[in-house]
Amino acid sequence: MILLTRKADFSSAHFYYNPSLSQAENERIFGKCANRNGHGHNYTLEVTVAGEIDPVSGFVVDLKQLKDILEREVVSVYDHRHLNHEVPEFANTIPTTENIAVAIWKRLDGKVPNAKVLRVRVYEMPDLFADYYGESA
Amino acid sequence: MILLTRKADFSSAHFYYNPSLSQAENERIFGKCANRNGHGHNYTLEVTVAGEIDPVSGFVVDLKQLKDILEREVVSVYDHRHLNHEVPEFANTIPTTENIAVAIWKRLDGKVPNAKVLRVRVYEMPDLFADYYGESA
Amino acid sequence: MILLTRKADFSSAHFYYNPSLSQAENERIFGKCANRNGHGHNYTLEVTVAGEIDPVSGFVVDLKQLKDILEREVVSVYDHRHLNHEVPEFANTIPTTENIAVAIWKRLDGKVPNAKVLRVRVYEMPDLFADYYGESA
Amino acid sequence: MILLTRKADFSSAHFYYNPSLSQAENERIFGKCANRNGHGHNYTLEVTVAGEIDPVSGFVVDLKQLKDILEREVVSVYDHRHLNHEVPEFANTIPTTENIAVAIWKRLDGKVPNAKVLRVRVYEMPDLFADYYGESA
Amino acid sequence: MILLTRKADFSSAHFYYNPSLSQAENERIFGKCANRNGHGHNYTLEVTVAGEIDPVSGFVVDLKQLKDILEREVVSVYDHRHLNHEVPEFANTIPTTENIAVAIWKRLDGKVPNAKVLRVRVYEMPDLFADYYGESA
Amino acid sequence: MILLTRKADFSSAHFYYNPSLSQAENERIFGKCANRNGHGHNYTLEVTVAGEIDPVSGFVVDLKQLKDILEREVVSVYDHRHLNHEVPEFANTIPTTENIAVAIWKRLDGKVPNAKVLRVRVYEMPDLFADYYGESA
């Protein structure tokens, strides 16, 4: 078994706000992130797939196909979007780095032919990232 | 004369939209950036100051003081903000990388004791940046 | 379970010298690092914590709190210090990248509420780093 | 147990072509990479070794010795070479990132005194890398 | 006047060999680079254009158009190519970093509407790059 | 004319202290940097030389020779050293980033055959650097 990791980027707006809490509680927990005009980030996504090397191609997974899957399932939905307002999974879920990693794992799980999506890593900033290995990990 | 450059970061939302143009024209010129929900970036600011080395300190400019000026004049105003909605210079000016560089130069010009603000560089993404040297350059 | 990783930086001096060995043996094993005036590095610390996502906040761990813990337990003790002379755990232990990773793991283990310190990674240079997963790993 | 990772670089030419397939099939699978004049990359290799810290030196592995092993076993063979034409393991194996990671693992396995080669990571580009943990993983 | 810089990448093979010199002289001057099987790099191109900000768009230059020009004039010609064998300007000119920067400047000069190509920077490796400002600089 | 830039690294200890000032004044001006045990950094040096491309080699300057000059004149003197205690130009000059850039320019000026040392850039940290262009700039 070998692992292959490909990165992709998306630039999105978001904010952190839990409507079941008061404004003051939101500000205490989320600080500047509670500003509902939103702010934004250049997110970096790393998707790691695991599989066997195909002896004909030398690939675990067709790179062009993997890039197309990431584009179709994630980048086209998240990039240049306001996550809270335009991405359905964040209508009622706060788009923290952790929740974004879980959401992307759910979008990709089972979509890559001949390989397993082992890990989704999401960087919100170069100094902060979340890793999700799926529900069985 | 020696140049000293210090970086700072801010994470902001923005969109590109010129209200004097039609929706179709905005989409043709600005593409995905015309989405008025906004998207966002981790911006990196590089400020270069020029001056003489103070023989007592060995500094062109006190680093703590320079950091405080960048924080007060730029980061506290732009970070975790929606540039179009919350930063006054972008009420009627599109917050492109070029216009952000000019706006930051105006915010900093003349504010650094004993040194000249020579250049403001703003990275919107690692592969795109603007440089502004002031009106006389 | 999800993993969250946060980075922090510290700039420190150190040298490698084992007083139970001769000067020649120290120089043979440690090369230029045996110079007891010390040299230094910009260290980068990556701390990975594992836990469950709190449904109220969307966080595994409060980011501000995690940053404060790293600052209090590690950065305030190591940054702008000479590790051999000023940090107690290196009074009789050589501050190699490996030993620094173990020492930071011991400083952080059990200190992060609602999450486990899974891994401590320390970069001495961009091309050299050590990972420690604790005694049970 | 602690892990130590060291990076090394090599710049090589390669192409992807399976002689048992037609030219058209090669171009469909490999796209621009099928050009048999070759193209090239700055590869980055990360080798992770696992072991115990030697209480005399504070090292898992002598860094100078590890660097020499990487130079002798990998860099001197791959760097400034055309992988398809000059490196024996790619005479009949397509030098994909996955196959390069496996080949380097085989070159290094058992060569590092007092430590196990746990993982070989090869970056072909900053946004694409393969990890191999050996046959037992 | 403001400067805008956009990066692009290409992965190419090349070698250094002057046919008017002996094999021994080529090896003395070019070392490992004289290997005529070729080796390769991930090149990074930075193109800096200078102009005035268009008050309608806020752009010095239309970013999509600039990207298309770089793709058409440079990336489609150099990427996944062997520079010595497939790119006409290197048929009789050694593709050093310096000569690549000059060749790209000639390819781009006068092609960007409403802006001047001020500087072409080419990185062969992260630690080596050439800058060319055109013949008048 | 074309510019070629090469990077080199050195890891050194230093502190900031002016003996003509009181301890309190040193601490006020230099903060944590005034700790006379010293701390340290991974410095990155970028040296830019300007010249004409030699039509025989395609080089402005022989890269191996340039690397050897940087090693002999700078890296062998600064790397794994305590700048205040072991490098003569800092016996009575505070080793700030600015003063290091000037000192390296003086060490290199006139030493590179057929090219002019145009600029010396020194990074103390990724977010702080000084540029020196020589006395005539």
Q: Which domains does chain B have, with CATH numbers?
A: 2-132 (3.30.479.10)
Nearest CA among B98, A76, C61, F112 for reference residue B89: B98
Binning pLDDT at 50, 70 and 90, where does residue E136 land?
Answer: low
CB contact under 8 A, C58 and A129: no
**pLDDT tens, position by position, C77-112:** 999 999 999 999 999 999 999 999 999 999 999 999
The beta-carbon neighbor of D98 closest among A8, A59, A64 is A59
**pLDDT tens, position by position, C15-49:** 999 999 999 999 999 999 999 999 999 999 999 99
**Dist. CA E125–CA E137, nearest whole Å:** 25
Looking at this protein, which amino acid is placed at residue E118? L
Binning pLDDT at 50, 70 and 90, where does residue C137 land?
Answer: low
- With CA atoms as reference, the chain D residue closest to E79 would be D39
Collect all residues of chain E within an 8 Å Cβ-Cβ radius of residue B31. 64
**Dist. CA E110–CA F56, nearest whole Å:** 29
F18 with F94: CB under 8 angstroms? yes
| Coil, strand or helix at C33 | helix
* Model confidence at F136: pLDDT above 70: no
Residues of chain B with pLDDT > 90: what percent? 98
CB contact under 8 A, D13 and E39: yes
* B44 at A interface, C-beta within 8 A: no
* A36 at B interface, C-beta within 8 A: no
Write the DSSP string, E16-30. ---TTS-HHHHHHHH
Collect all residues of chain D within an 8 Å Cβ-Cβ radius of residue A7. 126-128
CB contact under 8 A, F86 and C14: no
CB contact under 8 A, D82 and E14: no
Neighbours of chain A (3+ CB pairs under 8 A): B, C, D
**pLDDT tens, position by position, E30-50:** 999 999 999 999 999 999 999
B10 with B78: CB under 8 angstroms? yes
Kindly state the tokens that stand for F80.
């794994």
CB contact under 8 A, A101 and C7: no
The beta-carbon neighbor of D39 closest among E35, E40, E125 is E40
Residues of chain D with pLDDT > 90: what percent? 98
**Dist. CA C45–CA E14, nearest whole Å:** 38
**Dist. CA D78–CA D84, nearest whole Å:** 10
**Dist. CA D12–CA D83, nearest whole Å:** 7
Tokens 């015309």, located at residue: B34
The beta-carbon neighbor of F11 closest among C39, C79, C85 is C39
Beta-bridge partner residues of A12: A41
Collect all residues of chain E within an 8 Å Cβ-Cβ radius of residue F48. 131
* F113 at B interface, C-beta within 8 A: no
The beta-carbon neighbor of F132 closest among B2, B48, B56 is B2
Collect all residues of chain B within an 8 Å Cβ-Cβ radius of residue A14. 40
Mean pLDDT of C56-78: 97
* Model confidence at E137: pLDDT above 70: no
φ, ψ at C66 (rounded to 5°): -60, -45
* F26 at B interface, C-beta within 8 A: no
Write the DSSP string, chain B. -EEEEEEEEEEEEE----TTS-HHHHHHHHGGGG-TT-EEEEEEEEEEEEEPPPTTTS-SS-HHHHHHHHIIIIIHHHTTSBHHHH-GGGSSS---HHHHHHHHHHHHTT-STTSEEEEEEEEEETTEEEEE--TT-
**Dist. CA D62–CA D56, nearest whole Å:** 12
* E64 at B interface, C-beta within 8 A: yes
Residues in chain A, pLDDT under 50 = none
Say which residues have a Cβ less than 8 Å from residue E92's Cβ, sequence separation at least 6.
none
**Dist. CA F17–CA F35, nearest whole Å:** 8
Closest-CA distance of chain D to residue C130, Å: 4
CB contact under 8 A, A21 and C56: yes
- Which residues of F are identified as catalytic? 33, 80, 124
Mean pLDDT of D118-131: 98
Mean pLDDT of F31-40: 97
Q: Looking at residue C60, what is its pLDDT?
A: 97
Collect all residues of chain D within an 8 Å Cβ-Cβ radius of residue E85. 37
**Dist. CA B130–CA B34, nearest whole Å:** 20
Collect all residues of chain F within an 8 Å Cβ-Cβ radius of residue B59. 96, 98
Binning pLDDT at 50, 70 and 90, where does residue B137 land?
Answer: low
| Coil, strand or helix at A35 | coil
Mean pLDDT of B120-133: 98
Q: Looking at residue F137, what is its pLDDT?
A: 54
φ, ψ at E74 (rounded to 5°): -125, -60
The beta-carbon neighbor of B6 closest among F20, F94, F127 is F127
Collect all residues of chain A within an 8 Å Cβ-Cβ radius of residue C62. 29
Write the DSSP string, B113-136. TTSEEEEEEEEEETTEEEEE--TT
The beta-carbon neighbor of A3 closest among D31, D95, D131 is D131
* E60 at B interface, C-beta within 8 A: yes
* A46 at C interface, C-beta within 8 A: no
Q: Looking at residue F5, what is its pLDDT?
A: 98
Nearest CA among D90, D88, D98 for reference residue D123: D98
Mean pLDDT of D44-53: 98
Nearest CA among B52, E37, B93 for reference residue D87: E37
Kindly state the tokens that stand for E58.
């806020």
CB contact under 8 A, D38 and E33: no
**pLDDT tens, position by position, F48-94:** 999 999 999 999 999 999 999 999 999 999 999 999 999 999 999 99
Closest-CA distance of chain A to residue B56, Å: 36
**Dist. CA F7–CA F49, nearest whole Å:** 12
Which 8-state DSSP code applies to residue B54? P
Binning pLDDT at 50, 70 and 90, where does residue B135 land?
Answer: confident
* Model confidence at B91: pLDDT above 60: yes
Mean pLDDT for chain B overall: 97
Kindly state the tokens that stand for F114.
């057929």
In sign, the C-alpha dihedral spanning B76, B82, B88, B89 is: positive
**Dist. CA B47–CA B101, nearest whole Å:** 10
The 10 Å CB-count burial string (b at 16+, else e) for A115-133 is: bebbbbbbbbbeebbbbbb
Marked catalytic residue, from D25, D52, D80, D85: D80
φ, ψ at A110 (rounded to 5°): 85, 0
Mean pLDDT of B86-106: 98
Mean pLDDT of B54-83: 97
Nearest CA among F45, F41, F65, F57 for reference residue F113: F65
Beta-bridge partner residues of B131: B121, E3
**Dist. CA C40–CA E17, nearest whole Å:** 41
E119 with F1: CB under 8 angstroms? no
**Dist. CA E71–CA E78, nearest whole Å:** 10
* B34 at A interface, C-beta within 8 A: no
φ, ψ at F13 (rounded to 5°): -100, 155
The beta-carbon neighbor of A101 closest among C2, C57, C62 is C2
Any contact of E with A, at least 3 CB pairs below 8 A?
no
- Which residues of C are identified as catalytic? 33, 80, 124
* Model confidence at C135: pLDDT above 90: no
* Model confidence at F23: pLDDT above 90: yes
Beta-bridge partner residues of D14: D39
Any contact of C with D, at least 3 CB pairs below 8 A?
yes
CB contact under 8 A, F35 and C81: yes
A101 with C2: CB under 8 angstroms? yes
- With CA atoms as reference, the chain E residue closest to F53 would be E98
**Dist. CA B115–CA D120, nearest whole Å:** 49
Mean pLDDT for chain D overall: 97
* E14 at D interface, C-beta within 8 A: yes
Closest-CA distance of chain C to residue A56, Å: 34
Torsion, Cα of C46, C50, C52, C53 (10° steps): 10
Q: Looking at residue B136, what is its pLDDT?
A: 65
Closest-CA distance of chain E to residue B109, Å: 16
Optimal mutation site among C46, C119, C127, interface D, most CBs of chain D within 10 A: C127
Kindly state the tokens that stand for A134.
């799926």
**Dist. CA F73–CA F96, nearest whole Å:** 19
